[in-house]
A = this chain, B = another copy of it.
């Protein structure tokens, strides 16, 4: 398969008879749609909020910074499970941590977490 065939194959989607969206709208979509890479990252970020264990961890951290073991006990889960999830939260920069001897204290990284979760809650409440 030649390169140009790959490109044209990409455009070989089923088409409906009438396109309802006007050219103006299509132009606006193309203009305002962020790059694929950014949209991918955005989805990855929301994926992090899409697990009840991580949501619970964030709720715990709303109250105070806390060490891994305390979080595990509060949520009645294993240290390993919590540690794995904290890693995900850390990689998304939703939590930060500081070490104090053997203990590692985690806390919320910034205020977007609050806003995002609150908006989610509001949406559910409707």
Residues of A within 8 A of B (CB): 10-11, 13-16, 19-21, 25-26, 28-29, 32-34, 36, 38-52, 54-56, 59-60, 62-64, 66-67, 69-70, 72-74, 76-79, 93-94, 103, 105, 110, 112, 115-117, 119-124, 126
Contact = CB atoms under 8 A, between A and B. Distances in A.
20 contacts: A13-B77, A14-B72, A16-B73, A19-B69, A19-B73, A20-B69, A21-B64, A21-B67, A21-B70, A21-B74, A29-B60, A33-B59, A34-B59, A38-B121, A38-B124, A39-B59, A42-B121, A42-B124, A47-B51, A119-B119
A78 B32 contact: no
Nearest to A116: B119
Copies of this chain present in the complex amount to 2
A38 B52 CA distance: 9
Contacts of A41: 124
Given A10-B76, A50-B50, A126-B110, A55 B42 contact: yes
Contacts of A52: 36, 39-40, 42-43
